[in-house]
Each structure stands twice: as structure tokens, then as C-alpha cells.
């Protein structure tokens, strides 16, 4: 098995890349190879290179990287050569580099270990304290949305929702936020295979009208529905995105429609947009 295959398919082999990088550059180090604070200098350099490439979000050349991080082109070349062996970076035909699939492997390992619910909980709690209404966390997997977490409203009248329940994407604010974050092709595929059945007499079942609502939600950063999924309930929701900008879930606030005015919807929509973005940042999203 090649190094590049091992990098993606085996976590132990992937972890070896930093040790190999140290060995490959050791001859360029002076003294002990450690900074005064105890860090390994070559690892600092490799991380600087990767940090610049990640922030650039595009293909970059050796000269540009060297100028940005203050290293010689020879040092940058040696770092990139080792990282490329393990698919941490990729090189195109023009000699420019970009982040490689091993980065996704590591990021995915972090996301699954930490857990979306654990990452989100402190931010959901703050949103709940500010809104005093029911807060839901959705997870989006296999083309379906499920309740992953819930913080109940302190008011006597709350929501009957339960963790683990599957929710329709087209009639819920969180589901609509997820749909709005899909690519045009993915959204069209969803609409082609989905019959928009009325959940209440207010449910939007016209696909063009729904697409217009999604476009409006995409523009302002959150979606809403007014008594479309459940009579008497109004909701606002925003999508959670991963490092690629793809939806992995959503956050929503739900309340009885009689205490959820248009002005409150706008105000809470802004708060939920900020919360979803903060969670997305925890997952690596930088858009």
C-alpha cells in the first residue's frame, strides 16, 4: 500500500506524517531543533505552511507560500513533498498546491469524536437563555433530518417534539434552512423525489413557491415557517455547515404563534443565524 493510500485509509499511518516531516527536515535545523518554549521548530513551520494554505482556500505556489510564512523555498518544498506523500496536500500539473483529502479524514475524526450535540450544547444553551423558547438541534444524514437535541421552553405551553424523530425538510424551518444550503442540483433532486404533502392547511406545497421561500431564507441567513408543520406553532431556523460548506444540521427556535410576532421572528432569526454560524465554525467552516 502506498503512503498516499495509507494516509486516507489508516489513522495510524496518517499520524506518521509529522514524524516523517521532522526527519526529512532535521538537517536544516540548528542546535536542538527546538524553540525556547519547547516546541519543535519544523512542526511549527509545517503548521505555518498548512495554516496559510487553509486560509487561502485556493491553489498556491511554493514562492507565494514561502513569502507568506517567511521560509526559504527549499524548506517549503521539502515540507510540501512530505505532506504530499501522505495526501495532506495535493499538487496539480502547474506545480501549485492545495489541501488534500487527509485533512478531511482528520476533520471528520474530530467531528465524530466531539459530536455535534456536544459541540453545539453551550451555544444552544445561550440561545435558549436569550429566547426563553424551545430550541432544537437537527442532524442531517442520508438526506433526512432528525432531532438530535432539544431544550424545552420554560413556558407552560411548549413543543411535543422528541429527540430522534424525523422531520420533513420542506415544512420545518430547520429543514428549509438545510434545503437552502444545498446546491441547486441537490435541491432539484430532492424536489423531484419528494411529494409536498400538506401538514396543515398552511403548508406550502407548490414547489416553485417553496424555492422562492428558500431563496429568501438563503439571502437573510435563516428560514421560517408559520403554522405549516404544526398548527399553532411558528419556527425560525438556520443551517449548520461543515468545513466544505455542506449542511450537516440546523438549529431552530419554536414557539406558539400567538407569542411569536413578525418582529420577534426577525430578531430571533438573527440570533439563530449567529448561533448556527458559531457551531459551523467549530466544525471547520470558514465561509
Of 3.10.450.50, 3.40.50.1860, 1.20.140.10, 1.10.10.10, the CATH number of 3-107 is: 1.10.10.10
Residue boundaries of the structural domains of the chain: 3-107, 115-282
Res 160: pLDDT: 66
Tell me what percent of the residues of the chain surpass a pLDDT of 90. Answer: 61
Count of Cβ atoms closer than 10 Å to residue 57 Cβ: 11
Superfamily of structural domain 115-282: GAF domain (3.30.450.40)
DSSP code per residue over 160-212: ---TT-EE-TTTSHHHHHHHHHS-HHHHHHHHHH-----SSTT----HHHHHH
Count of Cβ atoms closer than 10 Å to residue 212 Cβ: 12
Return d(Cα 28, Cα 268) in angstroms, integer: 55
Q: For residue range 116-142, what is the model confidence (pLDDT) as tens digits?
A: 888 899 999 999 999 989 999 999 988
Res 239: pLDDT: 98
Q: Is the pLDDT of residue 222 over 50?
A: yes
Return d(Cα 128, Cα 123) in angstroms, integer: 9
Res 62: pLDDT: 96
Please tell me the pTM assigned to this model: 0.64
Q: Are 13 and 87 in contact (CB under 8 A)?
A: no
Res 156: pLDDT: 64
Amino acid at each position: 500500500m502506498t503512503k498516499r493510500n495509507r494516509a486516507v485509509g489508516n489513522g495510524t499511518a496518517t499520524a506518521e506524517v509529522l514524524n516523517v516531516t521532522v526527519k526529512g527536515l532535521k538537517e536544516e535545523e540548528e542546535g536542538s531543533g527546538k524553540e525556547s518554549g519547547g516546541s519543535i521548530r519544523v512542526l511549527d513551520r509545517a503548521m505555518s505552511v498548512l495554516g496559510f494554505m487553509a486560509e487561502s482556500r485556493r491553489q498556491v505556489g511554493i514562492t507565494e507560500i514561502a513569502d507568506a510564512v517567511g521560509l526559504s523555498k527549499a524548506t517549503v518544498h521539502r515540507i510540501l513533498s512530505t505532506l504530499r506523500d501522505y495526501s495532506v496536500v495535493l499538487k496539480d500539473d502547474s506545480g501549485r498546491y492545495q489541501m488534500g483529502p487527509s485533512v478531511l479524514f482528520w476533520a471528520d475524526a474530530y467531528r465524530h469524536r466531539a459530536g455535534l450535540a456536544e459541540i453545539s450544547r453551550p451555544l444552544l444553551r445561550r440561545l435558549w437563555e436569550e429566547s426563553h423558547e424551545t430550541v432544537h438541534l437537527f442532524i442531517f444524514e442520508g438526506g433526512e433530518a432528525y432531532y438530535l437535541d432539544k431544550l424545552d421552553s420554560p413556558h407552560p405551553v411548549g413543543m411535543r417534539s422528541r429527540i430522534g424523530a424525523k422531520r420533513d425538510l420542506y415544512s420545518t424551518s430547520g429543514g428549509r434552512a438545510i434545503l437552502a444550503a444545498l446546491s441547486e442540483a441537490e435541491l432539484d433532486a430532492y424536489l423531484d423525489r419528494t411529494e409536498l404533502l400538506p401538514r396543515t392547511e398552511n403548508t406550502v406545497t407548490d414547489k416553485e413557491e417553496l424555492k422562492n421561500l428558500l431563496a429568501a431564507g438563503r439571502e437573510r441567513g435563516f428560514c421560517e415557517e408559520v403554522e405549516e408543520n404544526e398548527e399553532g406553532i411558528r419556527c425560525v431556523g438556520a443551517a449548520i455547515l461543515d468545513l466544505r460548506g455542506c449542511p450537516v444540521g440546523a438549529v431552530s427556535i419554536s414557539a406558539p404563534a400567538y407569542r411569536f410576532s413578525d418582529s420577534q421572528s426577525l430578531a430571533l432569526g438573527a440570533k439563530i443565524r449567529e448561533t448556527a454560524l458559531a457551531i459551523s465554525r467549530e466544525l471547520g467552516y470558514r465561509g
